[in-house]
Copies of this chain bind each other. A is one copy, B any other.
């Protein structure tokens, strides 16, 4: 037998029929990332059902030097869960490990296996009068393991932080097959390096997250949604500071979009209506939330906050959603920017962050620079102003053929945008991770000192390089 056959036979013995498959119909759907940018091949698809099986499998992979590509819901944005083209890597799905091992409502904690789907966690928390305060578009497929490995963000980071802030404990299988059990949540623990933090956001290159203890919050009992029309992004930042000064504890989200994005969504979304009558250069969507204790007072607080903003000249116009249906309609305008733009024509996307106070300056400078250098193109920035994180999209001129444009101008534009981000001391990956999509750009623009440390740590923990090879580093 070839070595790969020996390996596969041993893996089959270990995992049983359900746990390892070569069936192209079963494996195929998981070989392409969901944006369709990367397609790979795999030795097989392994689906262990327990941490012990993952540990034994990883030890086997180490013995045979087989690369492992961990995968959750396959809804990542950077190709981080797609194997390479060699066919020599094992695709390791965590989807069968989908148990919520425990949910302690009084402690506000849930212990979830890596394969728990985000929406399932939302429902389990809701059933106990709680919530898990992180959500994103792929919530119906994204898994806890993937969210942790990519340190996922979303629209609630402003108040609750990224995934990193919500992980109280972690269990992971390390490259040598040992199990790091740090599931017990200790609010204070100063026994050396925080290995949990090292694994969060490491994209499966240091180990495989198999379970986590996650933080839950009281359910939302009331929310107030404000839509504001603004003359500039600088005005949006002033409004954000106003909201943070007055209602920091209630401020759940602060999203911005320029007029062009709103117009694109209004053309795309059947029945959609502009929240405000007039035209504004920028729009902000602001959510204030309260749990049961603060529910009654919230509407009055939102009105007072907005009244003061009018008084101080911080908004051109604004509206408060009058009911949940209208609140849903406001959010739909924000959530449909990406699909509306995809439908409108080819574009290149950049998930970037800069220091909070630099966002208006960066967006203005980058928009002007891109549009001057590529005439006919349009740059738009929208997203999470409160996190310093905008999605900076550059839209091809009308009539351009998408594919060749992506490969030529598109790539040149991305490099140009990333150069600007580096000059502004920002990040070329605010929330989507590096994966295989941005690996070369990270090498080109990343701090050589930080990259050297990462390489050292990677080599120390994974000397044979079997953990998600070709990703991130």
Q: Which residues of A contact B (CB under 8 A)?
A: 104, 106-107, 150-151, 153, 157, 162, 164, 174, 178-182, 184-195, 197-198, 200-203, 206, 218, 241, 245-247, 249, 293, 353-357, 384, 386-389, 425-434, 442, 446-447, 449-450, 452-454, 456-457, 459-461, 472-473
Q: Please indicate the chain B residues that have their CB under 8 angstroms from the CB of A459 in the complex.
A: 460
Within 8 Å CB of A187, what residues of B? Answer: 157, 353, 356, 386-389
Contact across chains for A198 and B188 when beta carbons are under 8 A apart: no
B residues less than 8 Å from A218 (CB atoms):
245
A-B contact pairs, 5 of them (CB 8 A): A153-B190, A186-B388, A187-B353, A189-B353, A191-B428
A79 CB to nearest chain B CB (Å): 14
**Interchain CA distance A302-B457 in the complex, whole Å:** 49
Among B181, B200, B206, B457, the residue within 8 A (CB) of A461 is B457
Please, how many angstroms separate the alpha-carbon atoms of A191 and B431 in the complex? 9
A472 engages B186 (CB within 8 Å): no
Contact B449 A178 (CB under 8 A): yes
Given known contacts A106-B357, A357-B104, A461-B457, A446 and B191 CB-to-CB distance under 8 angstroms: yes
CA distance A347 to B460 in the complex (A): 42
A286 to chain B, nearest CB (A): 17
Contact residues in B for A446 (Cβ distance below 8 Å): 191-192
Known: A193-B202, A453-B195. A353 touches B186 (CB 8 A): yes
Which chain B positions have C-beta within 8 A of A198? 193-194, 197-198, 457
Which residues of the partner chain B approach A384 to less than 8 Å between Cβ atoms? Answer: 188
Are B195 and A151 in touch, CB under 8 angstroms? no
**Which residues in B have their C-beta under 8 angstroms from that of A191?**
427-429, 434, 442, 446, 450
**B188 touching A472 by the CB < 8 A rule?**
no
Task: State the CA gap A249–B461 with chains docked (Å).
Answer: 40
12 new A-B pairs (CB below 8 Å) besides A218-B245, A457-B461? A185-B356, A187-B356, A187-B386, A190-B427, A191-B428, A191-B442, A191-B446, A192-B201, A192-B454, A195-B453, A246-B293, A457-B457
Contact, CB under 8 Å: A181 / B427? no
Contact present for A189 and B453 (CB under 8 Å) = no
Shortest Cβ gap from A187 to chain B (Å):
5
B195 with A201: CB separation less than 8 A = no
Let me know if A442 and B179 touch, CB within 8 A. no
Q: What's the minimum C-beta distance from A355 to chain B, rounded to whole angstroms?
A: 6
Q: A15–B97 Cα gap in the complex (Å)?
A: 57
B contact residues around A450 at 8 Å (CB): 180, 182, 191-192, 195
Docked Cα-Cα span, A288 to B450, in Å, equals 41
Q: Is the CB of A162 within 8 A of B188?
A: yes
State how many angstroms separate the Cβ of A256 from the closest Cβ of chain B: 15
- Nearest first, the 9 A-B pairs at minimum CB distance are A460-B460, A197-B197, A188-B430, A189-B427, A249-B249, A456-B460, A184-B425, A187-B387, A188-B389
